[in-house]
Structure 1
Amino acid sequence: MDDVRKSPDQGSNPADSNKGKHEDLSFARHLFFGEVEDDEVFPYPDGLSDEERETLALLLEPLDRFLRERIEDGDVDHDSLLEPALIDELKEMGLFGLQIAEEHGGLGLSNTGYARLFERISATDASIAVTLGAHNSIGLKGILIFGTDAQKEQYLPDLSGGDKVAAFCLTEPSSGSDAASIRTRAKLSEDGEHWILDGSKMWITNGGFADLFTVFAQTQIEVDGEMKDRITAFIVERDFGGVESGPEEHKLGIKGSSTTTIHFDGCKVPKQNVLGEVGGGFKVAMTILNNGRFGLAAGCVGGAKRLIGLAATYANERKQFGKSLSDFGLIKKKFAEMALMTYAAESMTYMTCGLMDKGGRDYAIEAAMSKVAASEAMWIIANECLQVMGGLGYSKEYVFERFVRDGRINIIFEGTNEILRLFIALSGIQAPGEHLRELVAALKNPWENYGMVLTELVSRVRSRVITEELDHAHTKLKRAAVHIEDKAEAFGQAVERLLRHFGKKIIDEQMLLERVADIAIDLYAMIAVVSRATRALDQNRKHAAHECKLASVFCEQADRRIRRRLRALEQGRKNGDEALREIADALFEHGGYVPEHPVL
């Protein structure tokens, strides 16, 4: 092995004294302090046990054959609802119980195993992936995470075999990303044995045929001696009565999946069907969504890889001006950039899965980062591959136009990417904000809090004087590792400056928060690709040299993006944001584009 690693007896980095003081935080949350916990992400995690690897091998061969023969080469109409017979075949293959424990009839896959399977399915048909994802990732996930033993025993066996299909009911006509504003209500019956559910939900995947719903409704609970509205989660069966599906929505893409409204009219839900605690539904909803986003990211990666392969085959074969398309510089640039985006998104997604499988911490930020990066990569790649195909890509005879239509929803559902960027930024700066408040309080009486103040000063001096590359990164990736350490440190300082300047008002600075989120996403992606490429080099994998090139180039590009965004953060409101606000305000005041007259 040609890399040199620092062993424990070679001394330690004094800046490491800063590490460990936030040991309960996930890897991504440490980035907002300017800290890189390389021990957590090196070596690149592999969430698969030997037993699960064997299970996946047994699953993937028949699944690949099914997808190829039944879907790709079959007569499936991708623009019509999936036929019941096809859904029955998916049930028979065990695809409705992917993460349900074996004791309840499921396959008991880890997050990594689920993601790998979901990636393969999504590469073939997004409607099938969405149908299965709505059931596995969010529909029944609440029972897996929050369900009582009795609830699990009652529902999971039927859900695992597909005898019952699940759906997730959160969004309403008046509440989309603002989940706390839902209006569906549940009131206790006079005998106290049931909750009476009234209201409507919209954009419910599997809504046309689901048997079981995770439903969120406002309930009255006592808080500090007053009755207040708080969201509660319920397990609702269609057979309870008072549950009705609306007509199927006509959508841009994923037309094979069922999407309807769901109406609850006096639906009587047994009190034992509360999921989690009464009034604790918001936490249930957010945990389910946070826990499920890695599956969506994996699906986007699968679609991106398939499209790149199909377009590359065409580019090699298509002749123009006496040369193959693949010989032209601008075509090469497109494919190189698509490869970089896919490698980063894939590396982030499976690092997140591996970290989640290790457990012990909340990896909601990592999952959100993976979803944002993968969904936007997929959207760009679908458009670029269609562009490479030219007129053929626009034709329904090929898959490209369908992937463009199907891929657009990924940027919207399970949290719009705009909302997720705010979630990443605000969740990430929460811990530094609390630490800063503690430090400010300590400085008001420095002699009484001498130890804390001295520790903080020493760690700050050391972190600014000593900057080292990641200890575990391969030497061939030394430059990329230095980029990570430098930009992580600068990022931590930028976050502190923002908190000092804006305080709690930072929540209103969305354009700045977007840059904070984008820097954090790029940092996480840099770490993921360097860790993955290091593993490839250490294990002398077949394409190790190519992975090293992908990681190196990605980190160079990400470093430039981060530097640009850090400069904009330093400039505060003098970075052009105010002018953009003024242009938007004029447009909204006018009610449309300004000026309205045609060019003379």
Structure 2
Amino acid sequence: MNSLKLSKSLRQIYRRNNWQNVNTFQTIIRCQSNSPKVAADGAESAAKRERRPVETTQSFVMNLFCGEGKVQQQFPYPQVLSPEDIQTVEMVTEPMVRTWKPEDALRFEENHAYDEKLWTMLKEMGSFGIQVPPEYGGIGFNNTQTGFLAEITGRYDLSLAVTFAAHQSIGYKGILLYGTDAQKQKWLPDLAAGNRIACFCLTEPSAGSDASGIQTKAVLSADGKHYVLNGSKIFITNGGIAEVFTVFAKTPVTVGSETKDKVTAFVVEKGAGLTAGPPYKKMGIMASNTTEVFFDNVMVPVENVLGEVGGGFKVAMNILNNGRFGMGGTLAGSMRTCIAKATEHANTRTQFGDKLSTFGDIQEKIARMSLKHYVTESMTYMLSGMMDKGYGDYQLEAAVSKVYSSDAAWYVCDEAIQILGGMGYMRETGLEKVLRDLRIFRIFEGTNDIMRLFVALTGLQYAGGHLKELQRAMNSPVANLGVILGAGTKRFARTVGLSSGPSLSEYVAPELRNNAALISKSIQDFGASVEHLLIKYNKNIIHEQMLQRRLADAAIDIYASVVVLSRASRALEKNLSSAGLERRFATLQCNEASVRIATNLSQLRGTQDLKNYSTMKEIAAEVLNNGGVVQNHPLG
């Protein structure tokens, strides 16, 4: 450490504490994170991202990257709804629950639309204005109530759930979050009543997960009263039936003497002249409408700007982050239906003289399906509860919930079909439709691949900020002795095995302390792995996506385990009727997750694993260069 010299007294302190890793510690101090780019539903240079002071966030997932277990937001498990609040949701959904028939979803899919009778009933239920405040004509549900309603809808038809989500979770969510009172008064009453439908227009042919690639442009008219909008959007849910569009376009923004194109959010009405293409032919969610949307010199009044001119990227990301909790609820509902069908079949179907339910293979499937549902359900209401309690920094928790729930739902439905065998493959059972519908959830609102990179890179950036803070402290070692010794002692204890990670024992029920100890160790190992990556790769870690994926998967497993420990602890403390089952869920989750976490973290630095990644890159390069399969056919 040439530029950061330790004082003689500080070196003596290290020796007295048997510090054996000064060289490694110095390497950490030299590590420059330089805020790598973060890839989310849209990517933007990190220098342009709003950056929170590293010492202020209470996000568990964010602090996990520093090897810390800040679980104050996760314990105790949130209980934000009273029995009356729950009853209100059930009353709202009662007409649909009472009248829905199993064949309805298949009929709507065949018609590629919902009938007027259902639409009228949904309007009367208030389903189109769930989170709109009563003063604007809505019901005014909080996030947890909304998640519960999404869960109920997800039990019946995912196409309907997608239509609702496109309308209110993202379609007019920007008006709720960023609209002026005049904008809210103008649009929300009709949107809440279902008299007008909304949609969210971000994706373009050249801008999917990377929103910085947006080509749609809006230029201020000569008289300064309108923006002239030109461009197109693809894969827009509700695009063909919507009348109110939240649209993102690049606008010239002048700062000082420099003019740059920055994304701005607009509310555009169909009457302004935009057009929609024919509905896409899709794999699933066929009853929901999905189209292209075209803007050809569409005149948008300046008062239709949402938020600030040039601030549209922030608007888009906050809309998506704010709405992701609803997806978990929807998928938890879908999984509940799949498990019900699977258990019914297993309990009634006889093979080889025994019920399927007695076969160990079927029992393992049912157990794993049930665990994934429990984790998804736990994450959903943890996230919505955090939001309802006013916690603002939940972007990584929302991303983790989205990834886990969509992967889990696919697994659960696939296994349900496997249990039903040939009957599961038949259309009349309904599960083949659910499987096709579920596939989109791993793609839209941020593909799971991009979400994993988003989690990994955002966390690495945060941890890098802490290392840079430590580097600054080393410039004045005597004045910052506490900071330096704190970091050094923590690393030393971990190196010689004196630390088992941040303790969770004070938060969990006594019956779960052994399980919590496993996750505490995982948190410590995770922090050490992050430190290793930042030392070895520096800012070039952005290019190591195979490593980022494994890091993200470990983070997802750790967060899932903490959430389950919290929920199961509440069940045990309240002596709920399902407390014993929930304890077993927590035990299984922590035991198996700790093994997966250790495997993923070991693969970040194992010599053979790193060679395997290089081999995979070489194989991919050959196949890509060839435009397909390379090897000679076995028949010559």
Same fold (TM over 0.5): yes
Deviation at 1:50, TM superposition (A): 5.6
Counterpart in 1 of 2:297?
266
Any residues of structure 2 matched to 1:384-533 within 5 Å, and which?
384-461=415-492, 465-467=498-500, 468-533=503-568
Partner of 2:149: 117
How far 1:344 sits from its partner (Å)? Answer: 1.1
1:268-283 → structure 2 map (5 Å cutoff): 268-283=299-314
Secondary structure in structure 1 of the residue aligned to 2:297: strand
Give yes or no for contact 2:324–2:399 (8 Å, CA) kept in 1: yes
Determine if the alignment matches structure 1 residue 348 to structure 2 residue 379. yes
Instruction: Give per-residue Cα distances to partners, 1:162-197, cap 9 Å, x unaligned.
Output: 111100000112211111101111010110000011
Structure 1 residue 599: Cα displacement: 4.2
Q: Tell me which residue corresponds to 1:546.
A: 581
* Pairing 1:140-539 to 2, within 5 Å after superposition: 140-240=172-272, 242-461=273-492, 465-467=498-500, 468-539=503-574
Aligned: 1:590 with 2:623: no
- 2:79 matched residue in structure 1: 46
Partner of 1:7: none
RMSD across aligned C-alpha pairs, in angstroms? 1.9
Using CA pairs under 8 Å that are at least 6 residues apart, name the structure with larger relative contact order, 1 or 2.
Answer: 2
**Matched residue, 1:8:** none
Structure-1 residue corresponding to 2:600:
565
Give the 3 Å change call, closer, same or farther, for CA 297–181 of structure 1 in structure 2. Answer: same
- Deviations for 1:116-147, whole angstroms, at most 9, x for unmatched residues? 10011011001111110101100011111111
Measure, in 2, the Cα distance between the counterparts of 1:46 and 1:67: 30
- Between stretches 27-36 and 448-457, larger displacement belongs to 448-457
Q: Which deviates more, 492-501 or 414-423? A: 492-501
Q: Are the counterparts in 1 of residues 331 and 409 from structure 2 also a CA contact under 8 Å?
A: yes
In 1, the alpha carbon distance for the partners of 2:515 and 2:101 equals 39
User: Counterpart of 1:578?
Assistant: 614
Cα distance in 1 between the residues matched to 2:99 and 2:70: 42
SS in 2 for 1:569: coil
Q: 1:33 aligns with which of 66, 89, 103?
A: 66
Deviations 1:226-268 (A, max 9, x none): 111111000011112x211100111010000000111111111
Q: Could you tell me which of 24, 28, 45 is aligned with 2:57?
A: 24
Instruction: State whether residues 108 and 287 of structure 2, in contact with CA within 8 Å, keep that contact through their aligned partners in structure 1.
Output: no
- State the distance in 2 between where 1:70 and 1:586 align: 48
Distance 1:470 1:495 in 2: 24
Question: C-alpha separation between the residues in 1 aligned to 2:72 and 2:402?
Answer: 24
Figure out how many residues of one structure are paired with residues of the other and give that number. Answer: 579
Q: Partner of 1:228: helix, strand, or coil?
A: strand
| Residue aligned with 1:351, SS | helix
Kindly state the Cα deviation for residue 55 of structure 1 after the two structures are TM-superposed.
2.0
Q: Distance in 2 between matches of 1:21 and 1:125?
A: 42
Q: Is contact 1:47-1:353 (8 Å) kept? A: no
Q: Which amino acid aligns with 1:285?
A: A
Which residue of structure 1 aligns with residue 19 of structure 2? none
Give 1:459 shift: 4.6
1:520-568 C-alpha deviation (Å, 9 max, x unpaired): 1001100011111111111111111011001101110100000101111
Distance 1:432 1:25 in 2: 14
Cα pair 1:168 1:214 within 8 Å, conserved: yes
- The residue aligned with 1:17 is none
Greater shift in the superposed pair: 322-331 or 211-220:
322-331
- What residue identity is the alignment partner of 1:482? A
What TM-score do the two structures reach when normalised by structure 2? 0.88
Structure 2 CA distance for aligned equivalents of residues 294 and 569 of structure 1: 30
| Preserved CA contact (<8 Å) 2:95 2:121 | no
- CA separation in 1, counterparts of 2:114 and 2:387? 32
Deviation at 1:78, TM superposition (A): 5.1
C-alpha displacement of 1:89: 2.1
Task: Quote how far apart the aligned CAs of 1:44 are.
Answer: 0.6
On the 8 A contact 2:236/2:292 being kept in 1, the answer is: yes
The structure 1 residue matched to 2:119, chosen from 87, 92, 97, is 87
Report deviation, 1:49. Answer: 4.5
Aligned mates of 1:287, 1:275 — CA distance in 2: 12
Question: For structure 2, which runs of at least 5 residues remain unmatched after alignment?
Answer: 1-52
Assess, with a 3 A threshold, how the Cα gap between structure 1 residues 148 and 538 changes in structure 2: closer, same or farther: same
The amino acid of 1:183's aligned partner reads Q
Q: CA deviation at 1:450?
A: 3.0
Task: Provide, for residues 373-415 of structure 1, a one-character-per-residue CA deviation record: whole Å limited to 9, x for no partner.
Answer: 1100111111111111111111111111101111111100111
AA aligned to 1:287 is N
Write the distance in 1 (CA, Å) between the matches of 2:416 and 2:59: 36
SS in 2 for 1:254: coil
C-alpha distance in 1 between matches for 2:102 and 2:358: 33
Cα deviation for residue 274 of structure 1 reads 0.3
Deviates further, 272-281 or 223-232: 223-232
**Which amino acid in 1 is paired with 2:401?**
S
The reply on whether 1:102 has 2:140 as its aligned counterpart is no
Q: Secondary structure at the match of 2:299?
A: strand
1: distance between equivalents of 2:326 and 2:433? 20
- d(CA) in 2 for partners of 1:76 and 1:247? 18
User: Any idea what SS the aligned residue of 2:478 has?
Assistant: coil
Instruction: Return 81-90 or 46-55, whichever deviates more.
Output: 46-55
Contact 1:119 1:298 in 2 (8 A): yes
Give the partner amino acid of 2:563: A
**Amino acid in the other structure paired with 1:256:** A
Report the Cα distance in structure 1 between the residues aligned to 2:354 and 2:133, rounded to whole angstroms.
Answer: 55
In 2, Cα distance between the equivalents of 1:21 and 1:370?
23
User: What is the rounded CA distance, in whole Å, between the counterparts of 1:599 and 1:564 in structure 2?
Assistant: 39
The answer (yes or no) to whether the contact 1:24–1:361 under 8 Å persists in 2 is no
Quick one: distance in 2 between partners of 1:288 and 1:306?
29
Q: Is the 8 A contact 2:218 2:229 kept in 1?
A: yes
Q: Deviations over 1:31-66 (max 9, x none)?
A: 111111233211111232565334224224334213
Deviation (angstroms), 1:103: 1.2
Q: Which moved more, 1:79-88 or 1:322-331?
A: 79-88
Task: State the secondary structure of the residue aligned to 1:576.
Answer: helix
**Bigger CA drift: 363-372 or 436-445?**
436-445
Question: Secondary structure of 2:427's partner?
Answer: coil
Mapped partners of 2:260, 2:458: distance in 1: 26
Percent identity of the aligned residues? 46
Relative to structure 1, is the Cα distance of residues 426 and 456 closer, same or farther in structure 2, using a 3 angstrom cutoff? same
The question of whether the paired residues in 1 share the 8 Å contact of 2:59 and 2:70 is answered with no
Distance in 2 separating the partners of 1:311 and 1:376:
18
Checking the alignment, whether the CA contact within 8 Å between 1:421 and 1:513 is kept in structure 2 is yes
